[in-house]
Structure 1
Amino acid sequence: MRIAIRHRLSVTPPAGTANAVLQLLLTPQGGPTQNVESWSVEMAGIGNAGRFIDAYGNVAHLVNQSRPEGELVVTVKGVIETTDRHGVLGRVGGEPVPALYRRVTPLTKAPVTLYGKFRNAKESRLDVLHALMARVGETLGTSETPAQMQADGGQSQSQGEAGKALPPASDYAHSFVGAARALDIPARYVTGYLMGAEDGVSAFHTWAEAFDEGLGWIGFDARLQMCPTDRHVRLAAGLDGLSTQPLRVVPAGDGARDIEVSVAAA
């Protein structure tokens, strides 16, 4: 599937800032599930930006802004050709060792009620991971079932049965990642885009990937209760939502905000 993406974000450094540094994780890479036909990043100073591969294998840009005044706008756009591999990314060369993703972070501390029943499971790892995805859905709620809990500070994006508010996709990804790590399974947080997002789910989307010795990395979208398909465009991966922020600035202001996210068939 060919998917056209346009994403505009903005961030406002604190007033009186002498020099600001922006880090962008807004450049997708090709791989088993996608081919980047075209992609551009536009903002003031991008021509002199430093480009590098970060510790998690993501393409990152560092952009300096001298005496920035007001809102800084970043626009990314391009066309990605995707392939449905039923969520299987496999083993990608040049990536960090999977063991890195056993590390628990403050955002990925999962309650034992999510993973306790799987501690002594006799099933295969793949079966356990699918059951874990279902368990996260049962706990946080899906579009068909009411939410049973809200993550701290989570802003609801959609409504479940009987008008119950559901947490954002990031809460599902963090819960799945944390529960998998509690079972000693390497798991990572993934950002990207979702074509045809429904039920209030943002087109800028998040999900998780877990490692299986036989199949390699496999994606699990607990918010949608499915493995990623050719509707998903993978952008960046890391330990959690903090390490995969698409746009951050130092010194920090009020945080980045989306102006426009358009994801459609090309």
Structure 2
Amino acid sequence: MRLSVDHVTHYNYDRPVRSVVQSHRLTPSVFQGQKAVDWAITVSGGTRGAEFRDGAGDLVQGWTVAGPVSQVTVTVRGIVDTEDMSGVLRGHKEVAKPDCYISATGPTRVDKALAALAQSVNADDPLALAHALMGAVSDAIAYKPGVTSAHTTAAEALALGEGVCQDHAHAMIALARVKGMPGRYVSGYLFADAAGTAHEAAHAWAEVFVTGLGWVGFDPANRCCPDARYIRLGSGADAQDAAPIRGIARGGGREELDVTVAILNQNQ
């Protein structure tokens, strides 16, 4: 599948800021099931700094914007060829060991309810277990936008019984870690959901390290493994760690964010 991406993020400040410094994980991952044909990142008034690949294999770029400035716009446009790899992250180069992702973070910390849910799931082999954990998360947390926030934890989403893809990914990671399986958060894009409905936002899912296969993606929000509809950007221990854009504004007031994402299938 050939997918085009148009992703624009506007940062608006209620009074001018002295400068803005950002780090981006906005470049598609390089692995067997995905290849960027054309990709460009621009920042209004910005200067690109150093870039490097971190231990997880993600490309990180630095940007600075000199002020005073009241608005910064980050624009991502490109075309990516994707292939259905049944969720297996084959051919992805990284040096971080899977055990780096076995310890809990704030959003993935396990409480009694998460532990009980994990212990209620059993299977004969690691892959089947990971699929069963995905099903358990899907059953326990209904997809409902607007009921959780960026700071909601997996335990809070489970108690609420509702959430979005970020909550599903955090819960999947938490359950996998209870079972002794490394899990991590993945940020990216999704062309359409399982019913074929257009998905107009950036997406997130989890990867679990499965012995014999390596990292395998699981998307409890859509109850499937990532396929050709998905574009993978980067990974981390949780949503904050894997955020496509991180940064600070020096000397300013309130920041407002406006994000638009459009993913189109160029083969149609």
TM-score (norm: length of structure 2):
0.84
The match for 2:207 is 209
* Aligned residue runs from structure 1 range 185-196, under 5 A: 185-196=181-192
2:115 partner letter: V
Deviation for aligned residue 1:248: 2.3
The match for 2:66 is 66
The match for 1:124 is 125
- Whether the aligned pair in 1 keeps the contact of 2:200 and 2:263 (CA below 8 Å) is no
* CA-to-aligned-CA distance 1:155-176 (integer Å, 9 cap, x gap): 9xxxxxxxx9941110000000
- Whether the aligned pair in 1 keeps the contact of 2:189 and 2:231 (CA below 8 Å) is yes
Query: Using the alignment, how far apart are the partners of 2:95 and 2:204 within structure 1?
Result: 20
- Return closer, same or farther for 1:46/1:31 CA change in 2, 3 Å cut-off: farther
Deviation for aligned residue 1:254: 5.3
CA RMSD of aligned residues (A): 2.7
* CA-to-aligned-CA distance 1:191-234 (integer Å, 9 cap, x gap): 11111246685431000110112011111000000011100010
TM-score (norm: length of structure 1):
0.84
* CA-to-aligned-CA distance 1:50-81 (integer Å, 9 cap, x gap): 21223432111111122241110010010000
* CA-to-aligned-CA distance 1:19-51 (integer Å, 9 cap, x gap): 321111111122121011110001135553221
Deviation for aligned residue 1:134: 0.4
Deviation for aligned residue 1:87: 0.9
The match for 2:174 is 178
Question: Unmatched 5+ residue regions in structure 2?
Answer: 153-159
* SS of equivalent to 1:30: coil
2:104 partner letter: V
* SS of equivalent to 2:221: coil
* SS of equivalent to 2:80: strand
- Return closer, same or farther for 1:189/1:202 CA change in 2, 3 Å cut-off: farther
* Aligned residue runs from structure 1 range 113-262, under 5 A: 113-118=116-121, 121=122, 123-141=124-142, 166-197=162-193, 202-251=200-249, 257-262=257-262
Deviation for aligned residue 1:152: 6.6
Query: Using the alignment, how far apart are the partners of 1:29 and 1:4 within structure 2?
Result: 15
- Return closer, same or farther for 1:15/1:200 CA change in 2, 3 Å cut-off: same
Greater strand percent: which structure? 2
- Whether the aligned pair in 2 keeps the contact of 1:19 and 1:65 (CA below 8 Å) is yes
Tell me which moved more, 45-54 or 173-182: 45-54
